[in-house]
Structure 1
Amino acid sequence: MKTVYVAANALEAHMLADVLKQEGITAQVMGSFLPGAMGELPAAGLVRLDVDEVDFERARAAIARWEATQVAEPATHAARTVVSGSRWRWGLGGLVLGAGLCLAVVRLPTGQTEFDHNRDSLVDERWELSLADQIVGVVQDRNFDSRMDLRLHYDASGVLDTEERDDDFDGQFESRTWYRMNQAQRTEADTDGDRLIDSVTHYTHGVPTRMDTLEPRSGQPVRIEHLRLGRLDKVERDTDLDGVLDTREHYNALGQITRTDRIAPTP
């Protein structure tokens, strides 16, 4: 067998095989499976037409006559037919990517609004706005020391997502609060400046209901305060710091302990 023609695609190869068949020449299409197996790569150089050596010259002459009768457009159309599925997938992927990029561009801070609340010619509050004129973030200097100590981040809908605070105004943001539907869900804080979380506040419908004091390195609670309507209701403690809460204290409205219980170990 000898290669008489290298086709642009499998469709063209099979069409020429039919042309040769009409001339009494048997041709084999070789490699027609390769483009699909290689992930829709272009077929050029992969699909070929082979004939017996004794038929080679007649086959070449037949193909030359066929080529002389063709115009550029049909061949181009055939190639488009083969790759249309691949282009459709690429087109869909492009649309998805384009939509993502458009959303990212719309969300990028493109404008700012600044405020000087105490009129000292220094910015005390700055709003970052997206291309769609939607709020993206806010920073504030609450104590007017020229350092921002509050950062608010908003989601794609312009709803508050997270909040970072520097409540001791030392230049380090020690707490972060997560929000859902503008209601606080959880706050994590580093209260001693060692960059380890040692306090976690839990919220129900935006109301603080529990505060955990953690052993920073293990992350285990050593004290859990349960709150009711903003006041201390009971406290669970790990008095011997063995990682197990062992004592529960109950409090009245005046913050006085009314009862102390031992917590039974979990079996």
Structure 2
Amino acid sequence: MSLEALFSSPVVKPSKLGWLVGVALVGLCGCASDKSVKKPEEAQAKEEVAPQPIRPPPAANEKVTEKDTNGDQKPDVWVFSVDDGRRVRKELDINWDGRVDLTTYYDAREEREREAMDLDFDGKVDSVYFYEKGINVRRERDLNGDGKPDVWIFYEKGRLARKERDSNGDSRVDYWEYWENNQVDRIGEDLDGDGNVDKWSRGTPAE
């Protein structure tokens, strides 16, 4: 079940919110297998940017349809479509406080492209899942709230392959964790801040 489907289910109660957020965080702690150290292709994601709002302003050609899934007479789902009726975005209020917590974006074929989440409910995006043909291929997390991802999780064929992290906030990856057969195979660390691995360790348990 996708995050969108899980959070939009009418059977999800506010009391379950902590559990849902925990599930999302656990998923982000997973890590994944590339045989060589490489930077994420989306290098521009590491440039300095302001934190993105979880609810972007609608475009001039977008129309919104509101839905009330819990019967409290207040909308908790907003579906945005363009002039030709194509769905481009869906926003969800998962804890029913009147504010958007999850935004799903769709491509030109109305296939899920990415899901942006506000896990600390401050109105800003701090976690993003990226999809290709409906499969989650990458996750990013902004841990310090500066608008830049600090953790990148990569998947290959649906399995965790690699985790990268910028642990000192300089916009450079300094920690690489590679996974094989659902366990950590090796860890690389950049000790001098030049963007290259200086130390390898093997078979080290993941934190």
| TM bucket, shorter chain | 0.5 to 0.7
Unpaired runs of 5+ residues, structure 1, are 1-107, 258-267
Q: Corresponding residue for 1:207?
A: 159
Unpaired runs of 5+ residues, structure 2, are 1-60
Q: Corresponding residue for 1:122?
A: 74
Could you tell me whether the CA contact under 8 Å between 1:199 and 1:214 is conserved in 2?
yes
1:133–1:256 Cα change, 3 Å: closer
1:248–1:140 Cα change, 3 Å: same
Superposed, which structure 2 residues align to 1:19-98 within 5 Å?
A: none
Q: Corresponding residue for 1:110?
A: 63
Could you tell me whether the CA contact under 8 Å between 1:184 and 1:205 is conserved in 2?
no
Could you tell me whether the CA contact under 8 Å between 1:227 and 1:233 is conserved in 2?
yes
Cα deviation 1:41-61 (Å, max 9, x = unaligned): xxxxxxxxxxxxxxxxxxxxx
Percent identity over the alignment is 24
Q: Distance in 1 between matches of 2:107 and 2:77?
A: 19
Q: Distance in 2 between matches of 1:245 and 1:193?
A: 26
| SS at structure 1 position matched to 2:73 | coil
Could you tell me whether the CA contact under 8 Å between 1:115 and 1:126 is conserved in 2?
no
Q: Distance in 1 between matches of 2:202 and 2:141?
A: 25
| SS at structure 1 position matched to 2:174 | strand
Name which one, 1 or 2, has greater alpha-carbon Rg: 1
1:170–1:131 Cα change, 3 Å: same
Displacement of 1:156 after TM fit?
A: 1.4
User: Which protein, 1 or 2, shows the higher relative CO under an 8 Å CA cutoff with sep ≥ 6?
Assistant: 2
Indicate whether 1:219 and 2:167 are aligned. Answer: no
Could you tell me whether the CA contact under 8 Å between 2:82 and 2:88 is conserved in 1?
yes
Cα deviation 1:52-105 (Å, max 9, x = unaligned): xxxxxxxxxxxxxxxxxxxxxxxxxxxxxxxxxxxxxxxxxxxxxxxxxxxxxx
Indicate whether 1:192 and 2:144 are aligned. Answer: yes
Q: Corresponding residue for 2:189?
A: 237
Displacement of 1:230 after TM fit?
A: 4.6
* Larger helix proportion of the pair: 1
Q: Corresponding residue for 1:172?
A: 124
Q: Distance in 2 between matches of 1:173 and 1:256?
A: 26
Could you tell me whether the CA contact under 8 Å between 1:234 and 1:248 is conserved in 2?
yes
Q: Distance in 2 between matches of 1:227 and 1:114?
A: 42
Q: Distance in 1 between matches of 2:201 and 2:168?
A: 23
